[in-house]
Amino acid sequence: MSESNMPRMMEFSEKGDERGYLVIVEGMQDIPFEIKRIFYIYGSDKDVVRGNHANRESEFVLINVAGTSKVKVMDGRGNETIYSLDRPHTGIYLPKMIWKEMYDFSEDSVLLCLASTHYDAEEYIRDYDTFLKIIHGEA
């Protein structure tokens, strides 16, 4: 996997004055894909784990626009990283075929998800063992 296709933190420019701040995120400029779908997660308790899947085709950028959360990503080859999302002008780029788990949501957390594809349930891998078999060419 090339460096550009690895999960990584991203920082978006923010503009502000005494009135507050504005953060702009544009597809194919600030993030490496055209945005086809936007959704957000809120109201999840601190002990809830969301995600628990990989995607065959979709790439994502996750941004906590309010509150905080953590995201654990695994590539199936022994590499695992935990990212803390705690600033509304930062996000995580997640390429396709990365296992993701979102958790440790603050009470006020709103996790914005930008996706490169429209929703297709068939491209989701929801079993970690199946994900590992695909990564290692066994499926």
The predicted structure's pLDDT at residue 120 = 98
Flag whether pLDDT at 2 surpasses 60. Answer: no
Helix (H) or strand (E) holding 132: helix 128-135
The predicted structure's pLDDT at residue 139 = 76
Residue 1's pLDDT band (cuts 50, 70, 90):
low
- What is the average per-residue pLDDT within 3-20? 91
| Enzyme catalytic residues | 53
How many separate domains does the chain show? 1
Dump pLDDT digits (tens) for 74-123: 999 999 999 999 999 999 999 999 999 999 999 999 999 999 999 999 99
The predicted structure's pLDDT at residue 3 = 60
- What is the average per-residue pLDDT within 27-48? 97
Query: What pTM, to 2 d.p., does this model score?
Result: 0.94
Q: What is the CATH number of the domain that holds 118?
A: 2.60.120.10
In the numeric block, which tokens belong to residue 47?
């002990």
What share of the chain has pLDDT > 90, as a percent?
A: 96
Return the DSSP state at 31.
Answer: B
Q: Which domain holds residue 39?
A: 3-135
Alpha-carbon distance values, 75 to 3, 13, 14, 128 (Å): 13, 29, 31, 11
Q: Are 12 and 65 in contact (CB under 8 A)?
A: no
